Amino acid sequence: MDTGYFIERSQRLYGYPHFICDTGGSICEWVDGHDPADPILNELARHCLLVYIEGSEAHTQELIRRFDRAPKPMAYQPEFLDRAWNEYMIENKCKEGEVDPDSFIRWTYARALAHRQPRYAAMVPWGVSVSANEVALVRDAAGFEHLIATALARRTAAPI
């Protein structure tokens, strides 16, 4: 919700003509892409072009491998987290006090990615979609601009 402020501030203080707001993947836990009145998506869309980076199955597996090596904080919907917590304890035949937090978070990550896919898909109409393979080819500002222009052209050409 502070995006507009940070855009203005980056221009005023640093003279930056462009602004990229990396919300991270957890944003899908706080918004409803199906709701045209969603306050967060409306605020972001007012200031930015939302770009969804769609990964392949191989990309998902690489994300899981990277997370396993170096877990990072993530936000989860309470309902999803409760369900994962209970499933983990059943599958691992343990009680709350016996749960290894590192094991739990690694076990949960792949499930969280699967849980998030429909939430990400619901956000696509708010912006554009690019593939992780396309992003991997970007080497400089001109390549990024070409990537976004191509995504915008695809969106414009898509049937309504």
pTM over 0.85: no
Between 91 and 73, the higher pLDDT residue: 91
Q: Give the burial class of 26: count Cβ atoms within 10 A of its Cβ; 0-12 exposed, 13-18 middle, 19 or more buried.
A: middle
What are the residue boundaries of the structural domains of the chain, listed by start? 3-157
pLDDT at 25: 85
| Integer Cα distance of 29 and 108 in angstroms | 15
Q: What was the pLDDT predicted at 131? A: 94
What average pLDDT does the segment 32-60 reach? 94
List pLDDT tens digits, range 102-147.
Answer: 999 999 999 999 999 999 999 999 999 999 999 999 999 999 999 9
d(CA 103, CA 106): 5
Angle, CA 52 vertex, CA 20 and CA 43 arms, to 5°: 55
Structure tokens at 151: 């995504």
DSSP-H helix ranges across the chain: 3-14, 39-47, 57-69, 78-91, 101-123, 132-136, 141-157
